[in-house]
Amino acid sequence: MARYFDVHPENPQPRSLNQVVEILNNGGLVAYPTDSGFALGCKLGNKDGLERIRRIRQLDDKHHFTLVCKDFAQLGQFVQMDNDVFRAVKASTPGQYTFILPATKEVPRLMLHPKKKTVGVRIPDHRTTLALLDALGEPLMSSTLILPGHSEPMTEGWQINEELDHQVDAVLDSGDVGTDPTTVVNFVNDEVSVDRVGAGDPTPFQ
């Protein structure tokens, strides 16, 4: 049964955040709010956590998982960027974007796209997410919480708690969730493409 944590959107209670971090450190899977709907997240290297995300979302092995990072310095440890890409990504973070980039050796192999060795990265513009990441001290391996047959992410914590009660270990809810998924920008193969138009303005990348 999932534990439900209701926190303040401006000042999320450290005690609740630390309890969620403890669940993550013990191999748990959590649903947490972002500026682009709820997401599912687990600790770096948690193979079982990723498999649980795959089952909940019915994903194949070509799905790009995302490393959700607290700041640009952290993001830069996990992906390779030339100067132009560096400037483009930095100018758009934090924000409602996911960037697909070549991964560094810091990224767990089980997260990588099997053929391209790429990974998604993002820095959300959301106080509760950033507070959770700060308390955890590392990125979350994540995927937007879009259930099979749906095109939009889940946005109500109570509904997630009811529907996924036995599939996740915790639901963190601050009541201030974005309603649209991220805009996905792909920087692989020296070409820039917008793979999905979402909440972030795609114009700078078209």
DSSP H helical ranges for the chain: 14-25, 47-57, 72-75, 83-91, 127-136, 157-163
How remote is the C-alpha of 164 from its chain's centroid? Answer: 18
- Name residue 101's beta-bridge partners: 119
Q: What is the pLDDT of residue 202?
A: 95
Q: What is the pLDDT of residue 51?
A: 95
Strands 193-196 and 97-102: unpaired
Strands 183-186 and 118-122: unpaired
Residue in this structure with the two tokens 């009541």, named with its chain if needed: 175
Pairwise CA distance, residues 163 & 185, whole Å:
31
**Cis before 94 (ω within 30):** yes
| CATH of 3-205 among 3.40.50.300, 3.40.50.1000, 3.90.870.10, 3.30.1360.200 | 3.90.870.10
Regions of the chain where pLDDT drops below 70: none
Q: Are 71 and 123 in contact (CB under 8 A)?
A: yes
The pTM assigned to this predicted structure is 0.94
